[in-house]
Amino acid sequence: MVTNTYVGLIKPIMKRKLTHSPGFKKPIMLLLLAVFCCLKTFAQQSIQVSGVVTEALNGKTMPGVTVKIKNTSFGVATDPDGKFSISVPDHGVLVFSFVGYTPVEKVVAGKILNVQLTSVQGSLSEVVVVGYGSSSKTNLATATSSVSAKEIKNAVITTIDQALQGRASGVQVTTVSGEPGADAVIRIRGNNSLNGDNQPLYVVDGFPMPPYVEASANAYGSSSQNGLYGINPNDIESLEVLKDAAATAIYGSRGANGVILIKTKSGRAGDSKIEFVDKTTFSKTSNPYTMMNSPEYANVINQGFALQGQPEPFTDDAISKLGEGTNWFDAITRTGVREDATLNISGGT
């Protein structure tokens, strides 16, 4: 095409100039000679490069990969067998690109060039797993909150509800009592029912979890326990909270109070990973009770008897001999020490 363009432009010039000035023929011939020399030089420097594009993980051929000469608009695509053929200047650079894979640049050094492409690993902060599959967070039309495994790993928590506390907007987390393993009260955007249950639906790896009730050892009969305490927070990959009517559309009436989607870690193809997490924490009572000592307690007893018109049981001499006594709150509490060691080994083919 370059040759035709130049010849098409030069022929009219030759015809017009040769008619009026026969001496102009020599410069035109020199110009034509220069053009053909350039084309010949370009043809000598270009080589035909062919090869196959495969996937680095499994070695399968990849059709439809764009093979483009760098800094130009010229390129081709691989055929159904992953093969390509393109004319490239010697020592030129080819760029191989495909959606979901890291682009690769290769300098042409021969006629055969085989390339492997590596897939790009997705980020949990960009992809939200919902009841009907997964969706890009920018394209998700429902209200969700996400808690990643990194946030859970860096926090000192024992149950999943503690992982949600303060980390998901519109989610309120409280406990019904101070008993270890007590049921967590989780409200997503407040209460939706006056008489019914307001607890959200838990879905673990796609399986809805039924309500969990365990018999209590106290004298008040059965009490509701936290049914999620059996899941190790370090085994969780992500937590997703569905808040609005989209949850009802997916899970029916069970999702009326919102849905908490729990995805646990699983093996992935690639290199094996070994992760060791060791957490040591110390805890103590933040607002301890102020207890009376023995003389103060005796004086309070005397005041009670005096208000009733009865003689005081403790004399001043008896009170002075009581001493400080025992602070029973200090006797039954101490600084708590907790150590949590977790070893995770994952991998796959």
69: closest CA among 39, 98, 89? 89
> Once rounded to an integer, what is the mean pLDDT over residues 205-214?
69
How many domains does one find in the chain? Answer: 3
Angle at Cα 348 formed by Cα 343 and Cα 349, nearest 5°? 165
Are residues 243 and 292 located together in one domain of the fold?
A: no
More confident residue, 138 or 228: 228
pLDDT, tens digit, 9 for 90 and up, residues 6-64? 444 444 444 444 444 455 456 666 666 665 555 544 444 688 999 999 998 888 999 99
Is 62 in the same domain as 101? yes
Q: In this structure, is residue 135 part of a structural domain?
A: yes
* pTM, two decimal places: 0.45
Residue 260 pLDDT: 83
Q: Residue 50 contacts by C-beta under 8 Å, 6 or more apart in sequence?
A: 83, 84, 85, 86, 111, 112, 113
Assess whether 257 and 325 both reside in one domain. no
Residue 5: pLDDT band by 50, 70, 90 thresholds? very low
CATH at residue 74: 2.60.40.1120
Q: CA 84 to CA 61: how far, in whole Å?
A: 11
Q: Would residue 274 count as lying in a domain? A: no
Instruction: Please report the pLDDT score of residue 19 as a whole number.
Output: 45
| Domain boundary pick from 75, 95, 117 | 117
Looking at the fold, whether 232 and 303 belong to one and the same domain comes out as no
Lowest mean pLDDT among 133-137, 149-153, 161-165: 133-137
Q: Write the pLDDT tens digit of every residue in 172-207.
A: 877 766 665 566 777 887 776 666 677 788 888 888
Residue 296 confidence (pLDDT): 92
- Across 137-156, average pLDDT: 66
Residues 254 and 136 placed together within one structural domain of the fold: yes
Last residue within a domain, chosen from 117, 150, 179: 117
Is pLDDT at 263 greater than 80 in this prediction? yes
| Lowest pLDDT segment from 11-20, 274-283, 290-299, 316-325 | 11-20
**pLDDT at residue 310 in the model:** 92
Structural domain includes residue 234: yes
Quick: pLDDT tens for 226-262. 556 667 777 888 888 887 766 667 777 777 788 888 8
Q: Check whether residue 68 and residue 99 sit in a common domain.
A: yes
Do the Cβ atoms of 263 and 129 come closer than 8 Å?
Answer: yes
The pLDDT score that the predictor gives to residue 220 is: 53
Q: Which amino acid is at 161?
A: D
Quick one: 243 and 295 in the same domain? no
Residue 338 forms part of a structural domain: no
What pLDDT is attached to residue 117?
Answer: 93
Q: Is there a single domain that holds both residue 191 and residue 95?
A: no
Query: What mean pLDDT comes out for the span 94-102?
Result: 90
User: Could you tell me if 261 and 312 lie in one domain?
Assistant: no
292 pLDDT tier (thresholds 50, 70, 90): very high
Domain holding 85, by residue range, is: 2-117
pLDDT number for residue 204: 84
Q: Establish if 246 belongs to a structural domain.
A: yes
Question: Residues of the chain with pLDDT > 70: what percent?
Answer: 69
**Is 275 domain-assigned?**
no
Percent share of the chain, pLDDT over 90: 19
Q: What is the mean pLDDT of the chain?
A: 75
> Given this model, what pLDDT does residue 12 score?
46
Give Rg (Cα) of the chain. Answer: 39
Residue 274 has pLDDT above 50, yes or no: yes
Do 250 and 306 fall into the same domain? Answer: no
Please indicate, yes or no, whether residues 47 and 165 belong to a single structural domain of this protein.
no
The pLDDT score that the predictor gives to residue 157 is 74
